[in-house]
Structure formats: structure tokens, C-alpha cells
Structure 1
Amino acid sequence: METSLKEHLIQIANRLTPDSTLEDVYEQLSLLSDIEISEQQEKKGEILTQSQVELQSREWLK
């Protein structure tokens, strides 16, 4: 299920402390966005196994 921007911002706002900065908010929003994208990729089967990643890494490092 996709979470709306408003829902993400409410989640972040609920965790803010008096010392939080705009950069903290941006980092949290970016993290939530990355997690959502990863979950969508997983549902579509766009993932690699550990073995596949190791094999690709070896090929890249040649």
C-alpha cells in the first residue's frame, strides 16, 4: 500500500523533537520514500538474491 506524502509527513512530525532540523525531516522523508520504493520493487519481483549480488559484484570488480 502506498503511503501518501501527507501520511509520511505526519509520521515524521510525530517524531520531531525541539532539536530537530529541516535536514532531519528531509532525511526521514527520503528514508521512508526509499523503503516504499523497495517494497514496490519486491512486489514486482525486481529483487536480487544474495548470490546474485555477489556474482554481479565480482563481475563489476574485474
Structure 2
Amino acid sequence: MENRLKEHLRKIADSLTPESTLEDVYEQLALLEDIELSEKEVKEGKVVTQAKVKEMAQSWLK
């Protein structure tokens, strides 16, 4: 986990411009964390297909 954080911080640092703010860094870190979480959920099979969502929505709308 620590190595991933360092990797993310390096990526962000490389993309910073003189106009970048600390808020920009926080947003990028949050995005990278969300991506990691999503990838983990996909690996664990914790996803719902679009077809299943449509099916579920139809039952809710009845």
C-alpha cells in the first residue's frame, strides 16, 4: 500500500504546474483511490452489469 501511495504521489508531482494547488493534489489522489477501489471490486466480482441494473430498475418502477 505504501508503495502505491508513493507511486501515486510521484505521478501527481510530475503533472503539477506552477498554477496547481493543494486542492488539485487532493482531487487527483481521491480519483486514484476511487480507481483502485473500483478495480478491487471488479476483481472481487462486486459489480452489476448494465442489463441487471435495467432489470432491477424495471422492478422498482412497477
Q: For residue 8 of structure 1, what is the aligned residue in structure 2?
A: 8
Larger Rg: 2
Structure with greater contact order relative to length (CA < 8 Å, sep ≥ 6): 1
Superposition misfits of 4+ residues, deviation over 4 angstroms: none
Matches of 1:46 and 1:35, distance apart in 2: 14
Q: For residue 43 of structure 2, what is the aligned residue in structure 1?
A: 43
- Unmatched 5+ stretches in structure 2: none
Q: RMSD of aligned C-alpha atoms?
A: 1.7
- Unmatched 5+ stretches in structure 1: none
TM-score (norm 2): 0.82
Q: Hey, which of these two has a bigger chunk of helix by percent?
A: 2
